[in-house]
Structure 1
Amino acid sequence: MSVLSSPQFYPPRLNPVLTRLCQSFSDLLADNFYKLKLVVESTDLEKLARLEEERVVYLPNHPTLDDGVVLFLLSTRLGQLFHYVVAYESFRGWNKKFLPLMGAYSIRRGLGDRASIAQTLKLLKQPSCDLVIFPEGGCSYQNDTVMPFRTGAIQLPLQAMNQMVKQGEPVPNLYLVPVSLKYHYTDSMKPVIDQTLSRLEKAFNINAIAPNFYGRLRGVAEQVILRLETEYDLNLDQSTQMDWNQRINQLKTRMLSECEQKLELTPATMTPIRERVYKIQSVLKSRAQELEEFDETTYESIYQATVRLLNFDAIYDGYVAASPTPERFLDTLTRLEREVFKFNRPLAKGHRKAMLRIGDPINLKEHFESYRQNRAATVEMLTQQLQQTVQENLS
């Protein structure tokens, strides 16, 4: 199978000339193809320009699948060349060659990807470096709320510093930059919301009887939940006595349990759902040929379950009600479309402003001594601080 014949790691092969060429028309391409325009304050750009010759790790939240494009636009504004840590699954088709030329390299989530870790440490030990890591570890599909940050994005820079010090170098400067990214539609999205709801209602053969968009959204969501509960043999009489968040969590638990049982994995109940899903996907890929030869439906059912789990990982009842913006409506509707119509990468619903806010950079040099005294506590403290900053700057 092709999965087994693919390289285990795609290293960066940054081509400065080609990257500069792509940067020269990146704003035009983003505006016309991705339907987005970068908006960032000049004061934030000045803040980053002062770090031009330093080692810098950018840590943005990850609300959509277009966020890498936005960070590339940021590199264009700064006139710099970035490296990017990108999910292994993105290196398909022409992206296998193109992404490395732009400075991207792969990471296989769900296992200790030694090659990717080694590449990150190598880059961070260079005299200057601009590296983008999405610390949530995956796409949240939520415009203005942040999923828990993974500690690796903070731990690796400190590890690189520690290696340099052990080699006799002075404690270097190395900056972590919290980046808050959210999108705003530039036009009225009421017609798009109405059309999207109508397509979903038609798929379930239900009438739009609710008096407003939110009522219609809940009507569609109820049908999606019921269909999944039926598919996974959950007791509908018991389920309907639960609130929606309980039902969503019950579904996630059942899907995870079935996947782990089929792959004979020990359930890691104390591990975040996203981490468990990545491990399932890694094991699934390693056993792809064996499973497909034995029972192709088993492979496909496990794979589809992991797609669903990642799609609905951060979802909760009340997300839209708390702030019924067009962005939150369409975040949720896009999730439902991915489930109902099996879209892998839905097109943008409309033209957007990609709003970037840059938090104050943290120089890890100032935290290095505390890291040497208590590594785990220092990494956890910095992780929480960066996550909080990114979340606060989304408001």
Structure 2
Amino acid sequence: MQTLELLLEPQCKLVIFPEGGCSFQNDTVMPFRPGAVQLGLQALARCAKRNQPIPDLYAVPLSLKYRYTGKMRPVIHQALRQLEHALGIPPTGDDYQRLRQAAAKVLARCEQEHRVVPEPGASWNQRIANLKAAVLYQCENKLKLPHASEDPDRERVYRIRHALEQQRTIVLEDGADDWAATSKALMRVLNFDAIYDGYVAEKPTPERFLDTLTRLEREVFGIDKPDPKGHRQAFLRIGRPMNLKDYVESYHRDRAATITTVVQQLQQTVQTNLDMLAEATARGISW
């Protein structure tokens, strides 16, 4: 309610992170949640309902790209050594082979913990998807929630988290460890939500290497926010603003379709500009 009124104040500037959380992936935009666009259109619809002039209200898509400024190979080597020691695997091959060996061990451990048996010949991406699906299914079962396999994984996590907080007293009657285990499982899904096999191989930059290493450290060492790996420079690109006022009539006719359209356009703009930033920073060009 307060946000809707705030949006209609002259010169209001409201910063919203539409992904709903940090993906910890430097080159990938996660699916936008509809709330940011929905709030803006609701505020404008309120003006129309009050027979007030509908003001301009712009959604400005911003893309952020981070690049390490120092020599990161020693940092990558140290992170690999620490992971290999913790996982009990010998260093074999080049940096990328060592990264895959550590990732393979982590994936197998997670599958074993959640009693997921990989299908013969399944790719890593299939195994990761099956693991996340199994974790979410188990959590929904535990909290007696309906299974929402058609929804994005991140949305299911948020729904389960909300239910977990609501039922915390009930869950704790079964033991605090049960509540902690469910929370850990949800964090695991978010940790692996954006990752896919081939992310580093596509562009073996220090950023992509360390994105992946940080995920593995979060899993292996149980650290929510590992220490920064080095100094990073931020690059920003601003996309063409969208005037939500132009969508008010469409919003009155079909709210859901209009919100989906605007969200998809904004998400695509952010991803396109992020790709441009990634290409430019790889060539050493400043924007």
Q: Choose the corresponding residue for 1:219, options 101, 104, 111.
A: 101
SS of the equivalent of 1:184 reads strand
SS of the equivalent of 1:353 reads strand
Q: Choose the corresponding residue for 1:374, options 243, 254, 270.
A: 254
Q: Report the equivalent of 1:50.
A: none
TM (normalized to structure 2)?
A: 0.92
Kept in 1: contact 2:58–2:244 (CA 8 A) = yes
Q: Report the equivalent of 1:142.
A: 25
User: Map of 1:200-279 to 2, 5 A cutoff?
Assistant: 200-210=83-93, 212-235=94-117, 238-239=118-119, 241-279=121-159
TM (normalized to structure 1)?
A: 0.68
CA distance in 1, matches of 2:172, 2:255: 43
Amino acid at match of 2:165: K
Q: Choose the corresponding residue for 2:79, options 196, 200, 207.
A: 196
What per-residue deviation string (whole Å, max 9, x for no partner) do you get for residues 352-371 of structure 1? 01111111111122222332
CA distance in 2, matches of 1:131, 1:310: 26
Using the TM superposition, give the Cα deviation of residue 205 of structure 1 relative to its aligned residue in structure 2, in angstroms: 1.2
CA distance in 1, matches of 2:266, 2:191: 24
CA distance in 2, matches of 1:119, 1:272: 28
CA distance in 1, matches of 2:74, 2:269: 35
CA distance in 1, matches of 2:250, 2:88: 60
What per-residue deviation string (whole Å, max 9, x for no partner) do you get for residues 341-392 of structure 1? 0111112110001111111111122222332333222222211111111011
SS of the equivalent of 2:274 reads coil
Q: Report the equivalent of 1:32.
A: none
User: Map of 1:130-169 to 2, 5 A cutoff?
Assistant: 130-169=13-52
Using the TM superposition, give the Cα deviation of residue 201 of structure 1 relative to its aligned residue in structure 2, in angstroms: 0.4
CA distance in 2, matches of 1:346, 1:260: 29
Q: Report the equivalent of 2:284.
A: none
Q: Report the equivalent of 2:185.
A: 305
Q: Choose the corresponding residue for 1:172, options 49, 55, 72.
A: 55
CA distance in 1, matches of 2:160, 2:246: 38
CA distance in 2, matches of 1:188, 1:242: 36
Using the TM superposition, give the Cα deviation of residue 295 of structure 1 relative to its aligned residue in structure 2, in angstroms: 2.0
What per-residue deviation string (whole Å, max 9, x for no partner) do you get for residues 244-277 of structure 1? 0111011111111111111111111111111111
Deviates more, 1:291-300 or 1:197-206: 291-300
CA distance in 1, matches of 2:120, 2:24: 26
Count of aligned pairs: 275
SS of the equivalent of 2:60 reads strand
Alignment gaps of 5+ in structure 1: 1-117
CA distance in 2, matches of 1:132, 1:209: 46
SS of the equivalent of 1:122 reads helix
Kept in 1: contact 2:83–2:217 (CA 8 A) = yes
SS of the equivalent of 1:131 reads coil
Amino acid at match of 2:101: G
CA distance in 1, matches of 2:168, 2:80: 37
Q: Report the equivalent of 1:43.
A: none
Amino acid at match of 1:226: A
CA distance in 1, matches of 2:217, 2:51: 55
SS of the equivalent of 1:253 reads helix
Amino acid at match of 2:122: M
User: Map of 1:70-109 to 2, 5 A cutoff?
Assistant: none
Q: Which has the higher contact order (CA 8 A, sep 6+)?
A: 2
SS of the equivalent of 1:192 reads helix
CA distance in 1, matches of 2:147, 2:207: 35
Q: Report the equivalent of 1:356.
A: 236
SS of the equivalent of 2:14 reads strand
Q: Report the equivalent of 2:267.
A: 387
User: Once the two structures are aligned, what percentage of the paired residues are identical?
Assistant: 55
